[in-house]
Structure 1
Amino acid sequence: MPNPRARTARRKEASTILHALILAAGSGVRYGKGDKLWQVLLGAPVWRHAVWRLLSHPEVASGTLAVAPSNAAPFEAYLQRLPAPKPLRILPCGGATRQATVRNALAYLPDGVRFVAVHDAARPLISHALLDRLVETATRYGTAVPALPVQDTLKRADDGRTVQATVPREGLYRVQTPQVFRADWLINAHRRAAEQGFEQATDDAQLLERAGYPVYLAEGDPRNLKLTTPDDLHLLRLHIGEGALTRTGIGYDIHQLTEGRTLMLGGVAIEYPYGLQGHSDADVVLHAICDALLGAAALGDIGQHFPNTDPRWKDAPSLTLLQHVRTLLAQHGWQPLNIDAMALAEAPKLAPYIPDMRQRIAHTLGILPEQVSIKATTNEGMDAVGARRAIACYAVAAIYPANGEADHEQIPTQTG
Structure 2
Amino acid sequence: MKSISLILLAAGNSTRFGLSAKKQWLYQYDKPLWLFVLEHLQSIYRFENIIVVANPQEITLMRSFSSVTFVPGGSSRQESLSNALKHTQSDFVIVNDVARSCVPKELLLKLIEHAKALHCVVPALKVSDTCYFDGAPIEREKLLRIQTPQLSCTTTLKELLKTAEEFSDESTLFFNAGKCVEFIEGSTDAHKLTYKDDLRLLRCLQTPINLPRNGFGIDIHSFEENKPMVLAGIPIESPFGFKAHSDGDVAIHALIDALLGASGLGDIGELFPDNDPAFKN
Structure 1 length as normaliser, TM-score? 0.47
How far apart are 1:135 and its partner, in Å?
A: 0.7
Is 2:12 the counterpart of 1:26? yes
Residues 241 and 26 (structure 1), Cα distance of their counterparts in 2 relative to 1, 3 Å cut: closer
Give distance in 2, aligned partners of 1:66 and 1:60. 16
The corresponding residue for 2:171 is: 205
Once the two structures are superposed, residues 266-288 of structure 1 have per-residue CA deviations (whole angstroms, 9 ceiling, x without a partner) of xxxxxxxxxxxxxxxxxxxxxxx
Q: Which residue of the partner structure matches residue 101 of structure 1?
A: 80
Matched residues, percent identical?
32
Q: Which ranges in structure 1 are unaligned for 5 or more consecutive residues?
A: 1-14, 158-163, 244-416
Contact 1:119–1:177, Cα closer than 8 Å, also in 2:
yes
For the residue of structure 1 that corresponds to 2:64, the secondary structure is helix
- Selected match of 2:110 from 108, 118, 133: 133
Distance 1:231 1:151 in 2: 21
The RMSD of aligned alpha carbons is 1.8
Number of residue equivalences: 206
1:76 equivalent to 2:80? Answer no
Q: Distance in 1 between matches of 2:101 and 2:205?
A: 13
Q: In structure 2, what is the equivalent of residue 188 of structure 1?
A: 159
* Alpha-carbon distance, 1:215 to partner: 0.4
Corresponding residue SS for 2:8:
strand
Report which of the two structures shows the higher radius of gyration computed on alpha carbons: 1
Secondary structure of residue in 2 paired with 1:133: helix
Aligned partners of 2:152 and 2:181: how far apart in 1? Answer: 9
CA drift of 1:241 comes to: 6.7
Structure 1 stretches (4+) deviating beyond 3 angstroms? none
1:3-402 matches, within 5 Å, as 15-32=1-18, 33-79=20-66, 88-92=68-72, 94-109=73-88, 111=89, 113-139=90-116, 142-157=119-134, 164-191=135-162, 193=163, 197-199=164-166, 201-236=167-202, 239-240=203-204
Looking at structure 1, the residues matched to 27 and 112 of structure 2 have their Cα atoms a distance apart, in angstroms, of 29
Does the 8 A contact of 2:121 with 2:150 survive in 1?
A: yes
1 CA distance for matches of 2:33 and 2:154? 26
SS at match of 1:60: coil
Distance 1:241 1:233 in 2: 8
Structure 2 gaps, min length 5: 208-281
Matches of 1:190 and 1:141 in 2, distance apart? Answer: 14
Determine helix, strand or coil for the equivalent of 1:202: coil
Shift in CA distance, 140/98, structure 1 to aligned 2, threshold 3 Å: closer
Q: Distance in 2 between matches of 1:45 and 1:115?
A: 27
SS state of the match for residue 44, structure 2? coil
Displacement of 1:127 in angstroms is 1.9
1:242 CA displacement: 5.0
Measured after TM superposition, the shift of residue 147 of structure 1 is 0.7
Q: Normalised by the size of structure 2, how large is the TM-score?
A: 0.69
Q: What is the Cα deviation at residue 75 of structure 1?
A: 0.9
